[in-house]
Each structure stands twice: as C-alpha cells, then as structure tokens.
Amino acid sequence: MEWDALLLSRLQFAFTIGFHIIFPAFTIGLASFLAVLEGLWLLTKRAVFKNLYLFWVKIFALSFGMGVVSGVVMSYQFGTNWSVFSAITGSVIGPLLAYEVLTAFFLEASFLGIMLFGWKRVGPGLHFFSTCMVAIGTLFSAFWILSANSWMQTPQGWAWAEDGTMVATNFAEVIFNPSLPSRFAHMVLAAFLTTAMVVAGASAFALLRKKALAESRVALRMAVLMMALVTPVQIMAGHESGIVAGEHQPAKVAALEGWWTTRTQQPTVLIGWPDEEAERNHFELVVPGLGSVVNNAESEDVLPGLDQFAAEDRPPVWITFWAFRIMVGMGLVMLTLGIWGAGAWALKRLDAATWYHRALVLAAPSGFVAVLTGWITAEAGRQPFVVYGVLRTADAVSPVPAGSVATSLLFFIVVYSIVFSAGALYILRLIAKGPESDEPAPQSNQPPGTPLGAAIEEAP
Amino acid sequence: MFGIELSLVWAVLIAVAVFLYVALDGFDLGVGILFPFAKNARERDQMQAAIAPVWDGNETWLVLGGGGLFAAFPKAYAALMPALYLPIFLMLLALIFRGVAFEFRHHGRERGRKLWTVAFSGGSIAAAIAQGLVLGGFVQGIAIEGEVFVGGPFDWLTPFSLLVSASLVAGYALLGAAWIVFKTQGELAERARRWVKQLALLTALAMGAVSLATLGVDARVTERWGLTMTSVDWPVFIKLAPLPLLAGVILFLMWRGIEERKFLRPYLYAVCLFLIGYVGLAVSLWPFIIPFAMTPADAAAADNALQLMLCGALVMLPIILAYTAFVYWTFRAKVDDDAAYH
C-alpha cells in the first residue's frame, strides 16, 4: 500500500462522508418528527407536543448546522480530489446534483430560518408550513443524492462520447436506475429509525431520571411505534436492496456474504474471518444453504462467489463482510427493542419497564452505527470501481500531489474532531437536561443574542 | 434550444449565482470580520442575530456556484479545483468553524463561548482570505495542458492573489458594516456608520489597486482596456471608462446615504460597488471561463444535460428567489428593538 494521492483521497472521502452522513441520517428523520409534532400540537393543542417540538428543534438546529458545513465540504471534494471522475461523469450525474441544490438545499436552508426564528413573525399555519418545507427538503435531498449514488452503483442510460466523457442517452433511466427505489427506501427508513432510536434513548433516559414525564412518555410511545412498525419494513427494504445488488453487483454480494466459491446452495456465513490471501474464511460459523434462500435463489441456482472475479476486481472483502454484519446486527437490535416495547406497551408496562429503558439508552446510537456500516457496505462493496464496472476509482483521482491531500486530510481530522465532539457534547447536554415540562412565560423584552433561546421563549 | 448557445446561458447563470453569493454571504462574512471590533458580548449577539436566520440560505448560493460549475462545465471544474486545492480547503475548513459557531456560541459555557466567538470571526476572516486567494488564483490563470491542470500546488500564491485577498476582506467588511447599519440601531449602528465610511475608502483603494494589477496579468487584458503603464488607447478605453466613473459616483452616494442616516441604502450601494468590480472583471476575462485557457463552449457538459438543468433552473430559480425574498421580508425588523415591530 502506497500513501499516494489516490489512497489519501480515498481515506479523506471516506472520513468526510462518514462524518457527514450521520447528520443527514439524523436530520431527515428528525425533520419529519418535528413536522408530526407540530401538526399534532396544532390539531390537539396539547402542550406536550409543543414542549417536545421546542426541545427537539434545538437538537435539530445543532445537527443541521453540522450537516450543512460537512455537506459543503462534500460538494467541493468531487472537484478537488476526484476531478477526473467529475470531468468524465459530469454530463450524467451533474444535473442530478444540480437538481438537489435547486429543489432541496435552498428549501431547507431558507425555511429553517423561519422554523427557528420565526415564531413571532409568522402565524402558526405558516410556521407549520415552514417545518414541513424543511422536512420535504431533506427528503428531496435524499432522493437526488441517492439517485446519483445509485447510478454509480448500477449505471444505465449513458454512452461514451467521442472525447472520452460520458453522456446520458436517457435521463429517466439515469435518475430511476435499477438500485434507486430500494436504496432510497432503505436510506429514508434508516433515517427514520436512527431518529427513533435517539428519541427513544433520550425519552427513556428522562423517564429513568423521572423528568418531564408527560413529554417523555409521549415521545417514547412515538419512538416505539416507529421501531415496531418500521423495522420489519426496513428489513424487507434491505433485502430488496440486496436482491438488486445480486443482479447488478454480484462481486459486492459475494464479498458481503463471504462467499469465495461459485456454487449452488450458498451458505449464510454468520461470522468468520475472511482471508483475502488464502481466499477463504477462517473460524467460520455457517448455516448451509440459507444464503441461497435469503437471496431468493432456487436450490439448483448457481450463485457467484469471489472466485468468479479476478483479484483486482474484488471489493475489499474483510471490510464489506464485517460492515454488513454489524449493520444487520443493529437491525436485529432495533427489531428486538421494537417488539419488546410493543409488548410492554400492550401489557401497559411501558412506563415502568426500567430494564427496557436502560436497554434503549444503551441502544440510542444503534441507528448511527447501522447507517455508517450500511454505507460502508454499499461503498466499499462497489470498489474497485467508482462507477460500477465502468470507471475504476484509481482512474478517477485528481492530479494533485500527495502532500496537498495529506495536509487537507490531517486538518480535516483535527477540525472535525474539535467541531463534532463539541457538537456531540452540546447535544448530549441538551438530552441530559430533557424537555421543558411547563410553559415558559412569554417575555416581551427579548435578549437579542440568544436567537434560539429567544425563539423558544417567543413560542406561543 | 432558444437560439443562443446553451453554454453561454449557463455561464451567465453561474456568474449570477456567484454574484448573489458574494452579495449575500458577503455581509454574513463581513459581520464575522467585524466581530473583533464589537464593544461587548451584547453587541456581538446583536451582530450575529442580524444574520442568523438567513446565513444558511446565503451560503447555499456557494453550493449552487460550485455544483453548477460541476454540472454545467465539468471540464472547467475538473481543471480549476485541483489547481486551487489548498485555498479551497482553507475556505471549507473556515466555513465549518464559522457555520457551527452560530449555534455553538449559545450552547457553550464560559470557555466554550469564548472559543466559538473567536471561531466565528476567525472562520469568517479565513474564509474571506481563502476566497480572495481562489479568485486571485483564478484571475491570474492556471497551467493547463490539454484539459488537465499541470501546475504546482502553490501556483495560486502570488502577490496578486494576496492583494485580491486583502481587497476582498475589506469589501466583505464593508458589506457587513452596511448590513449592521441596516439591521441594528443605537450605539452599534452609529459605530457601524463610521465603519462604512472607513471601509468604503479602503475598498475603493483596494479595487483600484486590483484593477491596475489585473491589467498586468495578461496582455489580452491590457488590450481590452486600452491601458498600459505608459499609454492610453483612448478610443478603446472610452467605451469602458463609465465603469470606474460609476464606481466613483456610487462611492459618493454611499457617503451621502450614511450622512443622511439612510438604513438600507449604504448596503445597496456597497452591492453596486461589488457589481461594478464584477462586471469589470468579466470584461477583462471575456470570453474565458478559465482565464486564457478555456471558454464556456470548451468546458460545457453535453447539451442534453444543460437542457435538463435549464428546465429545472427556469422553474426553480423564480421560486427560490420568491421564498428567499419572503424570508428576508419576514425578518425585516431591526434585531435590537424587537418589540417595536409587534
């Protein structure tokens, strides 16, 4: 392994997007949660919903801010580090990213201002409208970025132009490429579940400490409902995503399943230690034949193993294999907690189930872990290609010296560590404090400097 | 499609997006640049409150500028970004600090609050410096062979780009000061009035210096303006002379606007001043999208991509401008004396 611009650029991209993705994953779900809370409040006029809104909107503002700044970084890295990729694919996925800016980013950024600071300046209807616009903006954004990313996974609707760049022959095919529907559904549901796990953890923590009881009970129920209903759907969406990958990206599936040999009746490798040198798994624990069943194959169907692909065309097996297992593990954790919660709720024991509350606090980050490892599975599984089967990552990198990339990577690590640990600290502090239970008295004389604080006090 | 070159339409659209970024995020950054000159924490809070609801939308124009360049002119994007790698990363890192500081300043305790106050102004200053370096590096041209950047990592670092950088800091500070005049009242607004005057002079001097220095960047610029160090080609120059003259008039009007205690006018005049500098730059560099190396037609994406995006832009840009205007209208009140407006 050589520390050249290619490796450093890959590390930098992985590092910056790994940090970035957890914020959109959280804010997509949180924005919809806030819209639901505000809608329920307008409908029922119950103070709990308003108190919950005002609590979670603070956490939303912090996360959204971090998502924005780390997202601006992403939008420039295509050019700075992957300029050859940009030059070649610009005519195909450029428009998708342009549409993301035009339909999503401005919508989110503009209405966020009203959402946070507009309590006294617009009526409740317009305020609710702004919250909905922010929520819709996050979903639009997810759609376009996943369309572009899915096209990189399952490219279609393009052709080579004379100058060696790609052009779209059919934009509908580019946008609605084969892996988009399942990957978009999988990502949005992942965002909802990520938020549900954090909300559940924070509410359980408050209940354990006997704080803001009415609010925490309501929020816990909303989160449990989400977990119990959405986790099974999410598992199906993930399954569908895997089936599509099996059709279009067999090397990725072979790597994440840990299949080295092409055969019928592929096993499910529960755990194991893939060894790329020896081309086998050490210490593996398998269920024979189950892999083929899970991948919707008949018993006589031959499913490709990694031996079908030349060594230089295989994704990094160890990373893909383990990232996939951790993601699935987190999904099982969420499923268990969803069923457990629904059961406790049905038995009217949800508020007193102390062990359940403790488990929820512990599992609060499980959504983030699942999103990160799921993303690693998808992206590492696409290697060694940046556009699957078409353009190699090694051929996509910018002509920049390794020293420049090393410098930027080093600074990113330092800056992200400072900024995002501070952000995490502030969010955890807010969660530890919990939602306000009773209405704060409105003050006419606002302190000018704490806009968010003021926004909270201005709330009707 | 419309009887004109699509690449040209997109060059104009991106130029407009970048200008909107400069005019809007320029005052955000300017407020950050002026942060160290605030008297106390309350004034800093007022200054930040003057931009907090709108900064995020303003910064999105930068994403549209960058994303638009990628989408509409992938070859220009692919050549420029590696050439300006280090200043762009400086800008991104600076924008990170500045962006999170809006929220973090209110969550930090004693030391954290101080840290994020410094991060806000330091980030704003560094972002302005970096953007100046990017602009300077861009204007002076980059080394391209075929369609690929072949220069070194520090090619952008020249006395010229440092001059542009210093000028941009002064110009953004002027926009910021004029915005503070518009959005605040009392002691802070009074002081900001003085800042506007001082910074207007400084910006005018800087623009003059950058204009002269730009003439030296390439013989084609000198020819375009009809100006060399020793001679003036009057028939050529006379056509462009209205630009510097107009700048002088605007400077005078800005001064009077401040004297007559107008709220919004100083800011609008400052934007006009930037516009003139921008047009002057466009005149100098025309018809290149990467100075002296690539024209929009050379760098453009495929026609069907440009068409698809144009459809989106024609539908979405009016909507975006409408709700942006609505947001600004919603927050039209001065930040200090809130009660007076409700």
pLDDT for res B32: 95
Give the distance from residue B148's alpha carbon to the nearest chain A alpha carbon, in angstroms: 8
- Interchain CB distance below 8 Å, A98 and B72: yes
Range B221-230 average pLDDT: 83
pLDDT for res A448: 33
pLDDT for res A21: 93
Assess whether pLDDT exceeds 60 at residue A447.
Answer: no
Q: What is the number of CB-based contacts under 8 A between chain A and chain B?
A: 264
Range A279-290 average pLDDT: 85
- Interchain CB distance below 8 Å, B82 and A68: no
Most confident of A351-355, B133-137, B210-214: B133-137
pLDDT for res B3: 56
- Interchain CB distance below 8 Å, B78 and A423: no
A94, A168, A446: residue with CB nearest B338: A446
- Interchain CB distance below 8 Å, B106 and A449: yes
Assess whether pLDDT exceeds 90 at residue B146.
Answer: no
> Rg of chain B's alpha carbons, rounded to an integer?
21
Specify the residue for token string 């959280």: A26
Spans of all domains in chain B: 6-330
**DSSP states of A242-294 as a string?**
HHHHHHH-HHHHHHHHT--S-EESPPEEEEEEEETTTTEEEEEEEETTHHHHH
- Interchain CB distance below 8 Å, A68 and B56: yes
pLDDT for res A86: 94
Which residues is A453 bridged to in the sheet? none
- Interchain CB distance below 8 Å, A415 and B331: no
pLDDT for res B2: 53
Give the distance from residue B39's alpha carbon to the nearest chain A alpha carbon, in angstroms: 14
Range B241-270 average pLDDT: 90
Tokens of A66: 């971090």
What is d(CA A419, CA A406) in angstroms, rounded to the nearest whole number?
20
Instruction: Name the band, by pLDDT with cuts 50, 70 and 90, for residue A450.
Output: very low
pLDDT for res B263: 87
Interface confidence, given as ipTM, is: 0.91
Assess whether pLDDT exceeds 70 at residue A439.
Answer: no
B82, B86, B89: residue with CB nearest A83: B82
pLDDT for res A385: 94
pLDDT for res A443: 43
- What percent of chain A is predicted at pLDDT more than 90? 73
A chain contacts of residue B152, beta-carbon cutoff 8 Å: 401
- Interchain CB distance below 8 Å, A79 and B78: yes
- Interchain CB distance below 8 Å, A452 and B46: no
CB B281 within 8 A of CB B243: no
Alpha-carbon distances, residue A144 vs A106, A194, A289, B306 (angstroms): 14, 20, 38, 17
Assess whether pLDDT exceeds 50 at residue A216.
Answer: yes
- Interchain CB distance below 8 Å, A447 and B54: no
pLDDT for res B172: 96
- Note the pLDDT tens digit of each residue in B156-193: 999 999 999 999 999 999 999 999 999 998 889 999 99
- Note the pLDDT tens digit of each residue in B102-126: 889 989 888 889 999 999 999 999 9
Assess whether pLDDT exceeds 70 at residue A250.
Answer: yes
- Interchain CB distance below 8 Å, B104 and A99: no
Which residues is B294 bridged to in the sheet? B290
pLDDT for res A454: 45
Please tell me which residue of chain A has the smallest CA distance to B56.
A109
pLDDT for res A438: 60
What is the H or E stretch that residue B25 is in?
Answer: helix B6-34
- Note the pLDDT tens digit of each residue in B8-18: 999 999 999 99
pLDDT for res A289: 82
Q: What is the mean pLDDT of chain B?
A: 90
Which residues is A269 bridged to in the sheet? A286
Sequence-distant (6+) residues with CB within 8 A of B134 are B84, B87, B88, B91, B156
pLDDT for res B262: 81
Range A433-440 average pLDDT: 73
B54, B70, B331: residue with CB nearest A121: B331
| pTM for the model | 0.92
- Note the pLDDT tens digit of each residue in B84-106: 999 999 999 999 999 999 889 98
A101, A403, A408: residue with CB nearest B63: A101
Sequence-distant (6+) residues with CB within 8 A of B3 are none
- Note the pLDDT tens digit of each residue in A146-197: 999 999 999 999 999 998 999 999 999 999 999 999 999 999 999 999 999 9
pLDDT for res A239: 94
| A47-81 and A213-248 helices, crossing angle to 10° | 30
Tokens of A379: 């992206």
Please tell me which residue of chain A has the smallest CA distance to B330.
A121
Assess whether pLDDT exceeds 90 at residue A457.
Answer: no
Which residues is B149 bridged to in the sheet? B144
Instruction: Name the band, by pLDDT with cuts 50, 70 and 90, for residue A280.
Output: confident
Spans of all domains in chain A: 5-433
Give the distance from residue A412's alpha carbon to the nearest chain B alpha carbon, in angstroms: 7
pLDDT for res B222: 87
Between A387 and B144, the more confident residue is: A387
- Interchain CB distance below 8 Å, A451 and B52: yes
Between A294 and A459, the more confident residue is: A294
Looking at A154-277, list the stretches that DSSP marks H as alpha helix, in order from N- to C-terminal side: 171-175, 180-208, 213-248, 250-257
- What percent of chain B is predicted at pLDDT more than 90? 63
Assess whether pLDDT exceeds 70 at residue B342.
Answer: no
Between A105 and A457, the more confident residue is: A105
Assess whether pLDDT exceeds 60 at residue A396.
Answer: yes
Among B10, B46, B106, B298, which would you mutate to test the A interface (most chain A Cβ atoms within 10 Å of its Cβ)? Answer: B106
Instruction: Determine contact: A150 vs chain B, CB below 8 A.
Output: no
Instruction: Determine contact: A129 vs chain B, CB below 8 A.
Output: no
Specify the residue for token string 């089936």: A243
A 292-321 near B (Cβ less than 8 A) = none
- Note the pLDDT tens digit of each residue in B263-282: 889 999 999 999 999 999 99
- Interchain CB distance below 8 Å, A95 and B308: yes
Range A423-436 average pLDDT: 92
pLDDT for res B237: 84
Tokens of A265: 């009746």
pLDDT for res A1: 66
Range A346-352 average pLDDT: 89
Give the distance from residue A95's alpha carbon to the nearest chain B alpha carbon, in angstroms: 6
B chain contacts of residue A171, beta-carbon cutoff 8 Å: 304, 308
Tokens of A459: 């709330």
B chain contacts of residue A401, beta-carbon cutoff 8 Å: 152-153
- Interchain CB distance below 8 Å, A103 and B59: no
Among B21, B28, B75, B96, which would you mutate to test the A interface (most chain A Cβ atoms within 10 Å of its Cβ)? Answer: B96
B chain contacts of residue A86, beta-carbon cutoff 8 Å: 70, 74, 77-78, 81
Give the distance from residue B197's alpha carbon to the nearest chain A alpha carbon, in angstroms: 26
Instruction: Determine contact: A442 vs chain B, CB below 8 A.
Output: no
Using a 10 angstrom Cβ sphere, with 0-12 exposed, 13-18 middle and 19 or more buried, the burial of residue A108 is: buried
What is d(CA B178, CA B265) in angstroms, rounded to the nearest whole number?
8
- Interchain CB distance below 8 Å, B77 and A79: yes
A chain contacts of residue B67, beta-carbon cutoff 8 Å: 75, 97-98, 100-101
- Interchain CB distance below 8 Å, B71 and A412: no
